[in-house]
Amino acid sequence: MVELIKRINKDMRHYLTLSTSGLSDRVSIEKRGGFEAFFDWMYNNQYLYKILIEAESNNIEIYKWHYMKLSERYSMRLVEAMNRNEIARYDPEVLSFALMGIADFIAKRYILWVDSKIPNYVINEVNRILERILNPECTC
């Protein structure tokens, strides 16, 4: 299971990296590249995602490794965007887990629980939330 989780992690990160290439600002990367690409990956790889969920019960260390690895890489990109003033300043690890949590549960709700693609109105709502959370000008 360990090698399989490591492969899933690598494949998912590669897919997300390819999906965000060509996008220049972090908010666009999050909305169009990151979240929508993750939803597509998840829909097309539901069986792999279910393996990740099983790992939580069967091998907590590899499950934690998976999310920590995602957060590590994600946090680096978020810091770069914060330094360019593209997104609001937060603790990068906290922000990475908050964003991953949004994506994870939206995907579970629609893809795993009802075997459906994410409806457009949900993607639009998630994008509105991301814009508000990430907007460096927001005083909320």
Query: Distance between CA 25 and CA 10 in Å, rounded?
Result: 23
What is the reported pLDDT for 135?
87
Largest CA distance in the chain: 45
Which residues, including other chains, have CB under 8 Å from residue 80's CB and lie 6 or more apart? none
Q: Could you tell me which of 48, 53, 47, 23 has the C-alpha nearest to residue 36?
A: 23
- What average pLDDT values come out for the chain (140 residues) when binned by 10 residues? 85 86 80 83 87 87 91 94 94 97 95 94 94 82
Give the number of other CB atoms < 10 A from CB of residue 104.
17
Given a contact cutoff of 8 angstroms between Cβ atoms, the answer to whether 93 and 75 are in contact is yes
**Which amino acid type is present at position 15?**
Y
What's the pLDDT at 100?
Answer: 93
* CA distance linking residue 40 with residue 46, whole number of Å: 10
| pLDDT for position 17 | 84
pLDDT of residue 24: 77
pLDDT at position 140 = 60
